[in-house]
């Protein structure tokens, strides 16, 4: 499988051993789209069925026509596609983005409802042409997201659920007439459940109860519709019976519609009673998106990792990692001079400190809401007691605690730090999303910045400094369109493009072998690569790694271990002789 970024998956209802998957995830990683895959053995093995026209395209939905298995429909970042030959070839029928497809139980020649960036559309000729559907009292602004579903037992009933900004809209159709539902779950203006409509959003009608509908948002709701009103129950946030937020999908057991399965940022959950209680089904499911790594210099058997929306986790030698902080897991760091002291971030400009390797935490008092623009996960660097977090102004402490000193680094509009590296307690390198490089130094009384030469005007994803020579700096770029790995031998005055021999895909991290300065590894959107000659040539260094995005690298000097964090496939280690 050329890409493991999967946006949609569907079984052939006439032959359940046949499974189709659309690669490229619509919300974020559409660029990793490599086509449609097919399995004929229930998902045990896969083959690429059709690359064109889906390379670099993300999938939101994929449907097999319930009446004709050779007809497939795809909702993608580029639009609505149709296949008439079981997915071997595809044709674009309407440009997008297309978010959702619902096919009448009698087949697409009866009706297809599809949602696009410009609204709801209907087709009565198996998706060859579409007609816009006028939703009564609809919004005038642009849709953040719009979803649609038929009620299987009574398909004249359908639901459309959308959001414009933080304002939600729901319609039901009965007998061909759409009606706006005027009562929806209450919204907290300080934390609206619509706040991520572009990311987590669905509507699902209960197959055997046409008046019952499920809404997926940050939370999940179950509602009963009567006329133009609805009564609602929050089924995801309910005290001890809560499940992870950020709902993406929901499906029903074909044998018992009370049994539902919810997919969220926290994995898969099953309810036997329509969402009253839940059971997690995530044991052994290695799908955590590991974003950042930090380690104890005295042992490779201790690691800390920041994960996307699943907290900060800790490895102590067992395959069972410990959760040591909740929420989002951003960048993290370890005091290499005293590895009991560790730091983790949540998102934006936030930071906590632990004196005991994550057993307890203290908030470090950064202003909230943040006073400085930053990445959602800003870079964090730790060298002894000097701790820095990258934002429009660099925020630094030299005591490992408050107070924080904001250091103006002269960034432009919409420019933020994307990578940092502390050479020592007095010197911090900063790279930005526009390719700018800076050195920030402590002179004994204050911090000052010195601009370095930019290797390229693109997104800098990582900075590494040769442990044997602080004048030698490496940077990687995760924005394609030119060089992806650069080396400076004179502290950033000039740069050599060291990309030759690497695939033209984003490079996410770089580390240098402390025992051999000519040996360097880079983590790419697929796999890890090694050079033994300062970047003159590269070879794949991915034996045993899954075919997944390598997000971060950590080299353990004492134990000679290279550690790789992957998106959705765990953390991997290889001994380096």
Give the chain's domain count. 2
On whether residue 543 sits in a domain, the answer given is: yes
Last residue of a domain, one of 389, 415, 441: 415
Residues 470 and 561 in one domain: yes
- Per-residue pLDDT for 524 more than 90? yes
Q: Are residues 402 and 487 in the same domain?
A: no
Report pLDDT for 279.
Answer: 96
Q: What is the pLDDT of residue 342?
A: 98
Tell me the CB-side half-sphere exposure of residue 358, using CA atoms within 13 A.
Answer: 25
Q: Across the chain, what does the average pLDDT equal?
A: 96
Maximum Cα interatomic distance, the chain, rounded to a whole number of Å: 77
Residue 164 banded pLDDT, cuts 50, 70, 90: very high
pLDDT at 2: 80
* Cα dihedral 92/94/96/101 (nearest 10): -90
394, 299: one domain = yes
Q: Is residue 341 part of a domain?
A: yes
Query: Whose CA is closest to 430, among 398, 480, 481, 396?
Result: 396
The tens digit of pLDDT for each residue in 369-416 reads: 889 999 999 999 999 999 999 999 999 999 999 999 999 999 999 999
pTM greater than the 0.75 cutoff: yes
Q: Are residues 386 and 490 in the same domain?
A: no
Residue 220 within any structural domain of the chain:
no
Q: Does residue 276 belong to any structural domain of this protein?
A: no
Per-residue pLDDT, 469: 97
Edge-to-edge strand list for the sheet holding 220-226: 202-205, 212-216, 220-226, 229-234
Query: For the ranges 40-49, 74-83, 279-288, which has the lowest average pLDDT?
Result: 279-288
Q: Name the DSSP letter for residue 294.
A: E
Residue 568 is assigned to a structural domain of this protein = yes
90/378 Cα distance (integer angstroms): 40
Q: Are residues 400 and 458 in the same domain?
A: no
pLDDT digits (tens, 9 = 90+) for 238-253: 888 899 999 999 999 9
Same domain membership, residue 552 and residue 473: yes
- In DSSP terms, 83 is beta-bridged to 72
State the pLDDT at residue 32: 81
Q: Is 17 inside any structural domain? A: no
Return the pLDDT at 20.
98
pLDDT, one tens digit per residue, over 426-478 is: 999 999 999 999 999 999 999 999 999 999 999 999 999 999 999 999 999 99
Model confidence at 535, in pLDDT bands (50, 70, 90)? Answer: very high
> Considering the domain boundaries, does residue 499 fall inside one?
yes
Is residue 509 included in any domain, yes or no? yes
CATH of the domain at 338: 2.130.10.10
pLDDT tens profile 321-342: 999 999 899 999 999 999 999 9
Helix, strand, coil percentages for the chain (3-state, nearest 5): 0, 45, 55
Residue 381 shares a structural domain with residue 324? yes
Is the pLDDT at 362 greater than 90? The verdict is yes
For the residues 155-176, what does the mean pLDDT come to? Answer: 96
Look up the domain containing 346 and give its range: 286-415
293 in the same domain as 402: yes
């Amino acid at each position: 499988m050329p890409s493991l970024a999967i946006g949609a998956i569907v079984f052939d209802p006439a032959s359940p051993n046949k499974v189709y998957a659309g690669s490229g995830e619509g919300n974020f990683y559409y660029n990793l789209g490599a086509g449609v895959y097919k399995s004929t053995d229930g998902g045990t093995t896969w083959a690429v069925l059709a690359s064109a026209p889906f390379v670099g395209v993300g999938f939101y939905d994929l449907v097999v026509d319930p009446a004709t298995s050779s007809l497939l429909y795809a909702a993608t970042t580029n639009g609505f596609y149709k296949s008439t030959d079981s997915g071997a070839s595809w044709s674009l029928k309407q440009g997008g983005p297309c978010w959702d497809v619902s096919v009448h139980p009698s087949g697409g020649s009866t009706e297809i409802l599809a949602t696009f960036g410009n609204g709801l559309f209907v087709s009565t000729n198996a998706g060859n042409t579409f007609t816009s559907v006028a939703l009564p009292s609809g919004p005038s602004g642009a849709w953040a997201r719009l979803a649609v579903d038929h009620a299987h037992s009574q398909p004249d009933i359908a639901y459309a659920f959308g959001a414009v900004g933080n304002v939600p809209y729901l319609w039901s159709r009965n007998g061909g007439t759409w009606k706006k539902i005027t009562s929806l779950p209450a919204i907290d203006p300080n934390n609206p459940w619509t706040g991520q409509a572009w990311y987590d959003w669905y509507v699902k009608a209960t197959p055997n109860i046409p008046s019952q509908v499920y809404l997926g948002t940050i939370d999940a709701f179950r509602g009963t519709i009567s006329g133009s009103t609805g009564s609602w129950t929050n089924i995801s946030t309910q005290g001890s019976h809560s499940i992870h937020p950020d709902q993406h999908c929901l499906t029903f057991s074909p044998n018992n519609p009370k049994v539902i399965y919810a997919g969220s940022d926290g994995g898969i959950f099953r309810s036997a009673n329509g969402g009253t209680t839940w059971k997690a089904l995530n044991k052994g499911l290695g799908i955590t998106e590991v974003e950042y790594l930090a380690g104890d210099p005295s042992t490779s058997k201790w690691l800390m990792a920041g994960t996307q929306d699943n907290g900060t986790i800790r490895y102590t030698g067992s395959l069972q990692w410990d959760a040591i902080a909740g929420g989002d897991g951003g960048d993290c760091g370890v005091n290499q001079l005293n590895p009991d002291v560790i730091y983790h971030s949540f998102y934006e400009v936030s930071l906590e400190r632990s004196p005991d390797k994550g057993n307890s935490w203290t908030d470090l008092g950064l202003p909230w809401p943040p006073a400085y623009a930053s990445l959602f996960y800003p870079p964090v660097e730790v060298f002894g007691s000097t701790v820095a977090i990258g934002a429009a102004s660099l925020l630094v402490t030299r005591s490992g605690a408050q107070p924080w000193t904001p250091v103006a680094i002269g960034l432009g509009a919409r420019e933020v730090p994307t990578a940092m590296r502390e050479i020592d307690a007095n010197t911090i390198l900063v790279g930005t999303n526009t390719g700018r490089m800076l050195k920030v130094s402590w002179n004994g009384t204050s911090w000052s910045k010195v601009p370095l030469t930019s290797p390229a005007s693109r997104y800098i994803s990582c900075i590494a400094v040769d442990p044997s020579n602080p004048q030698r700096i490496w940077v990687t770029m995760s924005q394609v369109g030119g060089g992806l790995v650069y080396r400076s031998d004179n502290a950033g005055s000039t740069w050599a493009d060291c990309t030759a021999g690497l695939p033209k895909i984003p490079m996410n991290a770089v580390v240098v072998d402390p025992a051999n300065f000519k040996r360097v590894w880079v983590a790419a959107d697929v796999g890890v690569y090694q050079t033994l000659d300062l970047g003159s040539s590269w070879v794949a260094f991915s034996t045993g790694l899954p075919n997944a995005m390598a997000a971060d690298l950590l080299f353990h000097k004492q134990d000679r271990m290279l550690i790789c964090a992957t998106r959705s496939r765990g953390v991997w280690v290889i001994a380096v002789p």
